[in-house]
Amino acid sequence: MSSTHEAGSQIDLSEAARQLEMAAHDARVAASCISLGDLDEAHTHALLARTAADGAQNLLRAAIEAGVTLTG
């Protein structure tokens, strides 16, 4: 799902959704690693989850600032 705003450039909101799905997956993996006692791997996946969530947040902020609206 991509949207075009007044300036004509596109912001790919499907990428934001994909980033959020990756963040959720990595958060689940981190939680599983904690329960298995693998703190190093849990830490790695927690960082990956945060990075993916930050990426999605940046895309969403850009869309909001650009005045993107979804129709449908």
Alpha-carbon dihedral 52, 54, 59, 62, rounded to 10 degrees = -170
Instruction: Kindly report the pTM of this predicted structure.
Output: 0.81
Q: Give the pLDDT confidence score for residue 10 in this predicted structure.
A: 74
Of 1, 50, 63, 57, the closest CA to residue 22 belongs to 50
Please say whether the beta carbons of 58 and 13 come within 8 A: no
Lookup result for tokens 């979804």: 70
Per-residue pLDDT of the chain in tens (72 residues, 90 and over written 9): 545 444 556 788 999 999 999 999 999 999 999 999 999 999 999 999 999 999 999 999 999 999 988 776
Q: Give the pLDDT confidence score for residue 65 in this predicted structure.
A: 94
Q: What does the DSSP 8-state code read for residue 28?
A: H
Q: Give the pLDDT confidence score for residue 60 in this predicted structure.
A: 95
Q: Give the pLDDT confidence score for residue 18 in this predicted structure.
A: 97
